[in-house]
Amino acid sequence: MPQLDTSAWLTTILSMFLALFIIFQLKISKHDFHHNPELTTKMLNQNTPWETKWTKIYLPLSLPL
């Protein structure tokens, strides 16, 4: 029964990790990250009609019997 030749495994695994690291670095570097996230949350804030009005929600369990 022949023996399994594992002499090239270390080179293959290390080159695979190096290639994955380079690919992920390239993918991450193409993203456009916002420098100040507070500006984007302020721009997305929309006024809804129920924000300025006082409303009361009646739960079925809180109604009088």
Per-residue CA distances from 43 to 8, 35, 40, 49, 52 (Å): 55, 15, 5, 18, 19
Please check whether residue 42 is in contact with residue 36, taking contact to mean a CB–CB distance below 8 angstroms: no
How is residue 7 written in tokens? 């002499």
**Could you report the per-residue pLDDT of 19-51, keeping only the tens digit for each?**
999 999 999 988 877 777 666 555 555 666 665
Per-residue model confidence as pLDDT tens digits over 43-53: 555 666 665 55
**For the chain, how far is it from start to end, CA to CA, in angstroms?**
85
Domain ranges (residues) in the chain: 6-58
pTM equals 0.46
* pLDDT for the residue 51: 59
